[in-house]
Structure 1
C-alpha cells in the first residue's frame, strides 16, 4: 500500500477504468455474456461426469460419443497402460516433488526417454511436464537474442510463446507457403543463427505441411529445423513417427517436439534429437530446470503406451479409414470442411459465425455427440469451426452414427 493513503481513502471502482488490468478483456467478456444470454450452454465449460472408454462418456447425464478429445490411438484405457500406471503409483508414490535436475528423476523418467529414443530411432530424448513446456523450453533456449526464428503464421500458441520468451527475432510467413518462407530466409544475415519451426499437422484445420520441400529450403540457408509432431505422432508415417517420416525427411529434422496428451493418452511433452550437444539442454532450459517432474504413474503409462504404439499398424489403418469416411460423409451432406480431403485425424467443419457454431455445438451435444468449438483468435482467418478428432477405437457403426447426428443437427440449426 502507498504511504499516506489508507484503504478507506481509495476510490471504489467496479467499471472498466484506467488502472483496471481486466479492461483489456471487456470485449471477450461481453461476447461470452451475449452468447450465454442467448440460451446456449457454455461450450467451454463442459463437465464429463464419467468417462466410459476412449470414445464414450457421460455428459449432462447422458451417454455421449467423444469426437473432440485428441485421443487418436485410444490408449487411455489400454489395459497394459493402466496397469503400468497403477503399479508405479504403488511402487513410487503420487509425485516426485522436485525438478528433473534435483530429486525429480526416477527410473521411470529414464525408461520413458529410452522408449522415445527407440520409437524415433534418435540419440537423445528429453521429457517435459507438458507439451506446451516442451515448445516453450526448447525454442526459447536454442534461439535467443540475435538469432532468427522463421515460423508459419498459423503456429500453435506454445510455439509463439517460446519465440517470445527467448527474445529472438521472429519472422512469420504465410501458412504452408514455401516461397514466402524462402523469401524470409533470404533476407536474414548469412552469419546469423536461424531456426525454422514447422508443424506436421496443424491442429485447427487438420492440414499437413509440405515438410519435404520446406526442410530442403531451410537447409539451403543453413537453418536448423524444429518440427512439432503433436498431432501426427502415433499414426502418420510407417512407424507412426509423424509427417516428417511419411515424407521421408525425418533424418533432416534437428528437433522433433511432441506431446503425451494426444496419441500417447496421458500428459507430458518431449523433444528428441540427434544433435551431439543436445544433453546440455538439461542444464540451460529453464522450463525444464525450474518445474516439477511428471509423477511416476504418468511416465510409466507414457513409456508403456509409446512402446505399444511402435507395433500398432492395424490401429493406424483403422484410424485413417475412420478419418476418410467421416470427411467424405460430411462433405456429401453439404458441410464446408477445412481441407479438400482427409489429411489427418482432425476434420474441421467450418461454421458461418460464433452464434451458429455454438448453436450447432449444442445441437450435437443434445444428439449425444461432443466436438470442440473453436473460435477466433485461436483459429486461422477468424473462422469459427467445429473440430472433430477421430480415434482408432471409434467403430464403423459409431462413425455412421456421427454422420447421422451431424445431418440432423445441421438441418435443425440451418447449417445445411
Structure 2
C-alpha cells in the first residue's frame, strides 16, 4: 500500500514537471517498484477473483444512486447536530441515525478515495504514454486500484441489501414428531437436544418452554426460547421437515425405517411488538397432566391462553408455577402472532420470501439424517456431511447454516439487481 501511494504521488508530480531530465530520473528509479507492484497485483487479483462477485454495470449504477442518497443524508444529519438551536430530541434522533450510517460512510469514503486515485492514474497514463516501463507500472497500479474499487463496491452492496429486522432477535424453537410413531418422537428428542447443545456452544440461553413426552420418553412436541443476539437470523432456515433413516430401538429385525419431525423457528416478540390487549386474551388454568408428581396434579398450575381475534391457543404446563407458565405462554403466543404479521407483510410487498431458500414451510423436506451411512444431507444447498454423531452433539451445524446464509446473500444480490 505504501509503495502504491508513493507511485501515485510520483506520477502526480509529472503534471508539474516539464524538464525531460526529471522524467528520465523517475523513469530509471521505477524499475524495482515496478517488479514489486507486479507481484503484489498478481496476489491481489487472485484473491479478488475467488472471493468477490462480479457486479454488472447496471447494478453499479443503481448502487451509486443509493450511495449518493446516503452521502446527502449524512450531510443533512451532521448539519442538524451542529446547529445550536436543534432540540434535544432532534439532536438525539440525528445522532442515532448518524451512528447507523457510520459503517456505510466509512466504506463510501474509502471508495471515493479509490475512485479519485483511479481517475488520477488514468490522467497521468495519458501524459506519460511515451515511457513504456512507466506506463506498464502505472497500468498495473490502475488494475490493482480497480480491483480494490470492486471489493469496496461488493462490501457496500452487501450493506445495502434488504435486511430482516427480526434477524437480530432471539427465537422460539418448536419441534414436533411427524410420521414414524415412537421412532419419530425419539428423533424429535434428538433434534431438540441437538439445538440445545448447539446453543450452548454459541453461548446462547436455551430455556425449555414445554415438552410433551411419548410412551418411550421421546418428544411428541417440544419448544424452547433461545435468547441472545442475531439468533433468528442464524437459525431461521432450520424450519422444515427433518427426515431420519435408521434402525429404531423398537425394530427387532434390523430394518431401516424412515421417520420425520418438523422444526419451526419463530422470532421472539413481546407484547409491545404485538400490542396485545387484555380484552383480546382468554386465560384458563387447569391441573397439569403427565409426569410431575403429586403437586402437578393437585394445583391449577397449567395455563391456556387464547387470542380471541385469531383463535390461536397456547397451552403450557411445564412449570409448577402458574405465573411462570403464563409468562412462557405469552412469549410463545407473541412469537406466533408476530410471525403471522411478518409473513403477511412480506407476501404483500413482494415474492422475495418464496424465492429465497425454501419457504420455511414445515411440509418441505430440508434435511436427511442417514445413520447407517453416517451422513447428513441438506437438500437445499446439496451439501453432505459425514460425521453424523458430531452433528447430533451440536457440532458442525455451521457447515449447513453458513452455506444457507451465503445462498441467501447471493439470492438477495440477484433480486436486488432484477428489481432495480
TMscore range, shorter length = under 0.3
Which has more radius of gyration?
A: 2
> Would you tell me which structure has more helix in proportion to its own residues?
2
Normalised by the size of structure 2, how large is the TM-score?
A: 0.22
Bigger RCO (CA 8 Å, 6+ sep): 1
> Normalised by the size of structure 1, how large is the TM-score?
0.23
